[in-house]
Amino acid sequence: MKHLKTTVVLILALTLTASAAGKCGGCAFKNNSTGKDFFIRDNDRVVFLGDSITEQKLYTTYIEAYALTRFPEYTLSFRNTGWGGDTAWLRQRFPTDEKALFAATGDILDKMVIEAVHKGLERDVLPLQPTAVTIKFGMNDHGYQAFRPDIFRAHKRSQEELVRTLKKSGARVALLTSQPIEDMQKNPKEHECNLSLRQFADGLKEIAAAEGAEYVDQFDPYMDVIVQREEGQTKTFGEGDAVHPGPCGHTIMAWTILKQLHAPALVSAAAIDLSARWYNFRKKVAAENCAISNIAYQDKALSFDRLDHALPMPVDKRAINALKLAKITCDLNRYPLCVKGLADGEYQLLIDGQNITTLTSTQGQACANLAKFATPAAAQADKLLALVFEKNNVYFNRWRNVQLKNPADPKLAELDKQIADFEAQINALRKPVVHHFELKPLQ
């Protein structure tokens, strides 16, 4: 499937004015493409490496679900290797004398880092044969204290070694900064831990540039949301704690990661022009990443079939508040429908007979971003998200509770089958299906 990267054809077909675009949600008809390829590609084996924030299996599952629904034709696999308390020198996977590590420089530092990083990757990551790896360390590395150059020196050298080793194995690498600590003081930017994490993030950008890795700054976008919280609010992101956000915070994290890794905004777009000059000759249709068929227009009611080539990104029901805190729908979930040539008034939108919403035609045009509504496609994506969570829980149990304790345990085969069964269900559920649309005038 060709995933188009421009909506010029739609704009030309409908000659959308600035006011009409604003009425339609504006951004739904524009693409956020930077001209760069999305980090996740066809045939990728993606591994998420990190600490307890990664081990939560939240932002990683949201990223996985986005890729699976946006690119249903891709062959993809995802594995989470996050470990609570871990650091860039992989201290949870290989024991290191940290006092000696922080004091070390030059060849001694190189030797200590190389041994720890290689041992940790060789056990937990490289056997998965990843083609793409995201790395999120820093929260434990900075030690929950004011910035210490000796700790950062070990962190920097370890991040360098992680990138070099993974790239040598054939994987692309994205370095993710930590998000800030959600301290509820008046100025969280001045908290000594956040000042330290900011310096770690700045250093990570330099490492990424030097080592040829992608760089994702979660710190600033996340901090912006914290700072903009309502007066008197006790917690910006609901569930979780100051270091471990709940689903809402992780959805913010997934948004900023996906956006900075050049994830396309568009699910698909469809526009139908019923204006008289076209209607007497032919119905004008413009479609991007979808196919429109069986158009009928009678007694001011429009019906048609739509086959999308992608599904909308599912949003965890526990994280709906995130949509109010960040431009997630605009940046990642543009799924527009626009009909021109309608008489002004209100219209009931039905999909597969299900009442979705009421659209208002103004100046002969009615538009909506379908990602904002509970459509059958959204329900399909929600089911996929639930399966991805189940699959990831099984893999985590396989890796941490069985494989690491006994690599020859016969239970591994049973767990592998469970994972394969989940992935088969997920792949079946990724495939979009034809939906029947109706737009009927309200009496």
pLDDT value at 443 more than 60: yes
To which residue do tokens 């007497």 refer? 280
Lowest mean pLDDT among 104-113, 277-286, 353-362, 405-414: 277-286
Quick: pLDDT tens for 342-367: 999 999 999 999 999 999 999 999 99
- What pLDDT is attached to residue 183? 72
- Give the model confidence (pLDDT) of 77-92 as tens digits: 999 999 999 999 999 9
In this prediction, residues 394-415 reach a mean pLDDT of 97
The whole-model pTM stands at: 0.92
Looking at residues 191-218, what average pLDDT do you find?
Answer: 97
**For 373-396, what is the mean pLDDT?**
98
Structure tokens at 105: 């420089």
Averaged over 408-426, what is the pLDDT? Answer: 98
Work out the average pLDDT over 422-443: 96
Kindly tell me if the per-residue pLDDT of 17 is higher than 70. no
Residues contacting residue 315 through CB under 8 Å, at least 6 positions apart:
251, 322, 323, 328, 333
In the structure, what pLDDT confidence band is assigned to residue 233 with cuts at 50, 70 and 90?
low
* pLDDT at residue 236, rounded to an integer: 59
What confidence tier does 14 reach under pLDDT thresholds 50, 70, 90?
A: very low
What is the mean predicted confidence (pLDDT) over 288-300?
94
pLDDT in tens, 56-68: 999 999 999 999 9
Q: Determine whether 107 is exposed, middle or buried from the number of CB atoms within 10 Å of its CB (0-12, 13-18, 19+).
A: exposed
Q: What is the pLDDT of residues 19-63, one digit of tens each?
A: 333 344 445 444 545 568 999 999 999 999 999 999 999 999 999
Structural domains in the chain, CATH included, are: 1-33+268-443 (no CATH), 36-260 (3.40.50.1110)
Is pLDDT at 279 greater than 80 in this prediction? no
**In sequence order, which residues have a C-beta less than 8 Å from that of residue 421 and are 6 or more positions away?**
none
Query: Percent of the chain, pLDDT > 90?
Result: 82
How does 43-65 read in b/e, with b if 16+ C-beta sit within 10 Å? ebbbbbbbbbbbbbbbbbbbbbb
The reported pLDDT for the residue numbered 184 is 60
Q: Indicate the helix (H) or strand (E) that contains 437.
A: strand 434-441
pLDDT digit string, tens, across residues 239-278? 778 899 999 999 999 999 999 999 999 999 999 999 855 5
Q: Which residue has the higher pLDDT, 267 or 284?
A: 267
Q: Give Cα separations from 208 to 50, 68, 343, 364 (angstroms).
A: 16, 27, 55, 50
- Residue 309 pLDDT class (50, 70, 90 cuts): very high
- The whole-number pLDDT of residue 12 equals 37
Element (H, E) at 291: strand 290-298
